[in-house]
């Protein structure tokens, strides 16, 4: 009776930021459970590689070029998706960046604008188009927030930028409003709030600007703060994403789920 609860056969999914990191794991996970996955990224080679990996495992996947911050680029991608698939069932708004991190009074307006355009505006641009292809429903939207959208963190050295935290808190508000607006059509909107998951390119700008000593201090600070005492890896999030994408979570919307080795749930 329950054996197909998590299956996604026949469903069409769009994953933004699918060329690398978390997005690649999400795309491979959804395709392993039967979805046809559109791997969208501004890095087309990486998106193509993700789609090839899915196909090597007998999944159905295709790459798509998009700059999520650019309305023309987003519209062009969704026009193609509408032409080739006609509808979608699942959207994961995953593409995101962090910038070089400094304290708020030193943080540049240009970095604020650049990050917000991708992390928050990009979620809006893709969701409005995705919703149009999900209606009349049902559907599942999964937005990738962060524990930094739930709580502040300043371990005495740069960890995340003020714009990053603000964008991820914005993603959470966005998630809840969409949930309220579209619940009647059974289009669900949930957010995941990952803690630190290693092996991705996020934070590359910060790491490039930091000294070896600062990176060591940062690593020690976050490991000390995580109750499980280690970081996650992108594949750890696949089960949660498949759950939220599938009918197993059909009565759940408007929620934010931290996935963080206990970061948000315990005092370290």
Count residues contacting ligand NAD (CB under 6 A)? 28
Q: Which is nearer to ligand NAD, 110 or 247 (CB)?
A: 110
User: How is residue 119 annotated by DSSP?
Assistant: I
Q: Which is nearer to ligand NAD, 43 or 186 (CB)?
A: 43
CB of 83 to ligand NAD, least distance (A): 20
Question: x/- binding map, residues 162-191, to ligand NAD, per CB under 6 A?
Answer: ------------------------------
164 catalytically annotated: yes
CB of 149 to ligand NAD, least distance (A): 9
With CB under 6 A as the contact rule, the residue among 63, 96, 130, 158 that binds ligand NAD is: 96
Contact 69, 118 (CB under 8 A): yes
Site for ligand NAD in 188-217 (CB under 6 A): 194, 196-197, 200-202
Placement of tokens 């669900």 in the chain? 188
Q: Which is nearer to ligand NAD, 23 or 29 (CB)?
A: 23
According to DSSP, the β-strands at 256-259 and 90-93 are: unpaired
Helix pair angle (109-116, 162-182), 10° resolution: 30
Contact 115, 97 (CB under 8 A): yes
Q: Which is nearer to ligand NAD, 16 or 34 (CB)?
A: 16
CB of 49 to ligand NAD, least distance (A): 10
Q: Which is nearer to ligand NAD, 38 or 137 (CB)?
A: 38
DSSP string computed for 120-149 = IIHHHHHHHHHHHHHTTS-EEEEEE--GGG
Q: Which range in 21-29, 55-63, 182-190, 248-256 contacts ligand NAD by CB under 6 A?
A: 21-29
Omega into 136 within 30° of 0, i.e. cis? yes
Q: Which is nearer to ligand NAD, 22 or 54 (CB)?
A: 22
Does 129 bind ligand NAD (CB under 6 A)? Our answer is no
The residue length of the chain stands at: 268
Site for ligand NAD in 63-92 (CB under 6 A): 66-69
Q: Encoding tokens for residue 57? A: 């495992």
How far is it, in rounded angstroms, from Cα 166 to Cα 152?
10
First to last CA, the chain: 41
Helices (H), the chain: 21-32, 44-56, 71-85, 109-116, 122-134, 162-182, 204-209, 212-225, 238-245
With CB under 6 A as the contact rule, the residue among 11, 14, 29, 41 that binds ligand NAD is: 41
Q: Single out the catalytic residue among 107, 164, 182, 243.
A: 164
Catalytic residue numbers, as ranges? 164
Q: Which residues bind ligand NAD (CB under 6 A)?
A: 16-17, 19-23, 41-43, 46, 66-69, 94-97, 118, 144, 146, 194, 196-197, 200-202
């Amino acid at each position: 009776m329950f054996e197909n609860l998590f299956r996604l056969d026949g469903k069409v999914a769009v994953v933004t930021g699918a060329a690398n990191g978390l997005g690649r794991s999400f795309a491979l996970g959804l395709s392993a459970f039967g979805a046809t996955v559109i791997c969208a990224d501004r890095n087309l080679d990486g998106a193509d590689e993700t789609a090839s990996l899915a196909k090597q495992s007998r999944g159905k996947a295709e790459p798509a070029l998009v700059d999520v911050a650019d309305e023309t680029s987003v519209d062009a991608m969704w026009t193609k998706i509408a032409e080739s698939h006609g509808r979608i069932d699942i959207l994961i708004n995953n593409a995101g960046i962090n910038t070089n991190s400094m304290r708020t009074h030193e943080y540049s307006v240009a970095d604020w604008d650049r990050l917000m355009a991708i992390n928050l505006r990009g979620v809006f641009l893709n969701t409005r188009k995705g919703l149009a292809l999900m209606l009349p429903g049902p559907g599942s939207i999964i937005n990738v927030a962060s524990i930094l959208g739930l709580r502040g963190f300043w371990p005495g050295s740069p960890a995340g930028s003020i714009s990053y935290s603000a964008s991820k808190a914005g993603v959470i508000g966005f998630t809840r409003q969409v949930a309220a607006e579209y619940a009647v059509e059974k289009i669900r909107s949930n957010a995941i709030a990952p803690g630190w998951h290693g092996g991705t390119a996020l934070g590359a700008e910060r790491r490039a600007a930091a000294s070896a000593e600062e990176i060591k201090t940062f690593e020690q600070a976050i490991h000390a703060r995580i109750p499980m005492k280690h970081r996650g890896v992108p594949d750890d999030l696949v089960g949660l994403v498949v759950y939220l994408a599938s009918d197993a979570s059909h009565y759940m919307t408007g929620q934010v789920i931290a996935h963080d080795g206990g970061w948000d749930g315990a005092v370290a």
